[in-house]
Structure 1
């Protein structure tokens, strides 16, 4: 058996790694997958950088940040696989929800944002303190998508709200205590606040950007270079695990596995509700495990927009190459898995599920639209970044 060490945070989107161990998919590929539960993304980042783990359940923008030199200890990290899409939501306190004129549907983030903008304006007129929202890390989809949504709704996330970083497991407690007014976090911490009666869903990641990327398999590049066969075995195991996790009939068993104290340490009933809930975590369908370089470049565009990194040709190339669809394709195409032939796509162009490739009937892409109707074409990166900057100003 080949030993692979991996870290994870107690979130639903760690399911693929956890099920790979517990359901024998890793063992079936000759992998002894050792999992280490961590409390924060900073822990994952730092322990990966000093070589404590070979691979990690990782925020999708985190490999980019490491490769762009934005982390305390920079280490070359690649993402040869995504660990699903969706699964995040914006939850607010009951007091804040009662002050808002909320839309009937969670699928209307524009109306929710307009209501929030009106409330913020009223609070400013009254001299009230800014609302405070929690995010899990400044290099996270949560951070960028929350800001994208707020800005598109006419709210300046730099000046009109306060944002603080908290580990995911602490979010619901911080909301209950009144430390924050709302948060953007992965499941099951939205469902936990709802079921405790402490929070109300305002909108979801999938409503802001349909079928959008969330977590990836972060891999130390030196380890990948030294162990290509082992990495291939691991990706095949994780692909089989993703397919199992994405089968609705397996939800109850998956929730029971995840409920263990060594994993998410929550009731199976809560986790099953979160798996079926509106936040929409998808482990497998719509090629949810494919590491699109257009996803990496969209995150990069937001890093530039919010002043985390300067836009240069070299930086854009580094960001794009942080996601490795070539490795994914080389490993999984020979198994017969439906794999896109492209490394990137135009994001926001598909408004409906779309079959791709006459010989790959099972390959369905989209919908992938942004709630404001914007399109991100990675071939027009400079123009997109320029437009985003003007919108910010």
Structure 2
């Protein structure tokens, strides 16, 4: 039996929500949502450290049930913004994960790295950390015996979905013979415990919690798929971004200060204790802290993997937070690669429409934060050394689909 405890998760690609303007006016409470994941920390800590108050803002942060729930509330204006999957606005706009044409705006990136693919303990001893060459054979054997292998992610076209599919492709696993289901992040471990999936991709701490509970083990971390990949973003309602622009800039300043604070390793123990509380992530602080520090107990007698410069990062001297249009184009190219879309979207026009890069640059400059100059330049994925040129996604797809 699939353990899904909220109706909001039943149809993750529902077309029910349409874009509206924010119903609240200037000076009203600003509502920001989050999903119980370690990388909600910039929004939670901006609240806990009093940074929103410092900038004269009345901000309420609310725990949400699923990414579909976040999507719908942003589009209707019930939330002004949220901690959100970087790729969700592109998934929704293209119709992969919502009503095509619905606009969710990206103000800034919140973090890099720090997600993981967890495999069930049933695979223990059969594959090891990052041994994708062995995974394909084990999965094939299981498929032959049981006809189907099930993996889980958190939202169609979301970052976790694409990390999972990219890894499956790199491991030589036929996605068409595998079942991929959608489960909200906090419910991953419980569903694996009762055998509802063989593997899942989600953000921390739910990879670490599976290890702690001896439910599964870390097969690969997403920084080993793409070092310093974009992960979560501050995504806002279109009406809020247009009608309360000055307040949005203050929200961004508070969150940027929180990102800087979080990248001071001396602060991470305190952060773990706070975000682990029931009203936030509701998970053991020691698990959150360990992976925040780059100390990964992999489980399944694989030992410990120490990340020194590519664990979960929130600022990186400004390199993290710029929302890059090239990254948006990469995700949309994956929608084509993995058959979510049958015809190429207008990559650049969509990226221009949904990414508020000029606003981010304005805010960053006012805070003397470095502006990276690498957007729209080719970059290389870590796992397979594939080079992506955002100016030629069609050429990339010709090679990727071979």
Report the TM-score, using the length of structure 2 for normalisation.
0.85
- Which residue, 85, 92, 95 being the options, matches 2:112? 85
The 8 Å contact of residues 60 and 213 in structure 1, kept in 2 or not, is answered as yes
Q: 1:309 to 1:330 in 2, by over 3 A?
A: same
The 8 Å contact of residues 300 and 316 in structure 1, kept in 2 or not, is answered as no
Query: How far 1:320 sits from its partner (Å)?
Result: 4.8
- Which residue, 358, 377, 391 being the options, matches 1:379? 391
Equivalent in the alignment of 2:302: none
Give the Cα–Cα distance (whole angstroms) in 2 for the partners of residues 227 and 244 of structure 1.
26
Which secondary structure state, in structure 2, belongs to the residue aligned with residue 378 of structure 1? coil
Confirm whether residue 49 of structure 1 aligns to residue 80 of structure 2: no
Q: How many residues align?
A: 360
Which secondary structure state, in structure 1, belongs to the residue aligned with residue 29 of structure 2? strand
Confirm whether residue 296 of structure 1 aligns to residue 328 of structure 2: yes
Q: Which moved more, 1:242-251 or 1:272-281?
A: 272-281
Which secondary structure state, in structure 1, belongs to the residue aligned with residue 251 of structure 2? helix
Give the Cα–Cα distance (whole angstroms) in 2 for the partners of residues 210 and 58 of structure 1.
20
Within a 5 Å distance, the mapping from 1:1-393 to structure 2 comes to 3-73=29-99, 75-98=102-125, 100-102=126-128, 106=129, 109=130, 112-124=131-143, 126-159=144-177, 161-276=178-293, 277-278=295-296, 280-285=311-316, 287-312=319-344, 314-348=346-380, 369-389=381-401, 391=402
Q: 1:336 to 1:72 in 2, by over 3 A?
A: closer
Give the Cα–Cα distance (whole angstroms) in 2 for the partners of residues 307 and 323 of structure 1.
24
Which secondary structure state, in structure 1, belongs to the residue aligned with residue 117 of structure 2? strand
Give the Cα–Cα distance (whole angstroms) in 2 for the partners of residues 205 and 20 of structure 1.
26
The 8 Å contact of residues 121 and 216 in structure 2, kept in 1 or not, is answered as yes
Q: 1:274 to 1:36 in 2, by over 3 A?
A: same
Equivalent in the alignment of 2:20: none
Give the Cα–Cα distance (whole angstroms) in 1 for the partners of residues 95 and 197 of structure 2.
30
Query: How far 1:172 sits from its partner (Å)?
Result: 0.7
Give the aligned CA root-mean-square deviation in angstroms: 1.8
Q: Which runs of 5+ in 2 are unaligned?
A: 1-26, 297-306
Q: Which moved more, 1:174-183 or 1:61-70?
A: 61-70
Q: Which moved more, 1:69-78 or 1:169-178?
A: 69-78
The 8 Å contact of residues 88 and 185 in structure 1, kept in 2 or not, is answered as yes
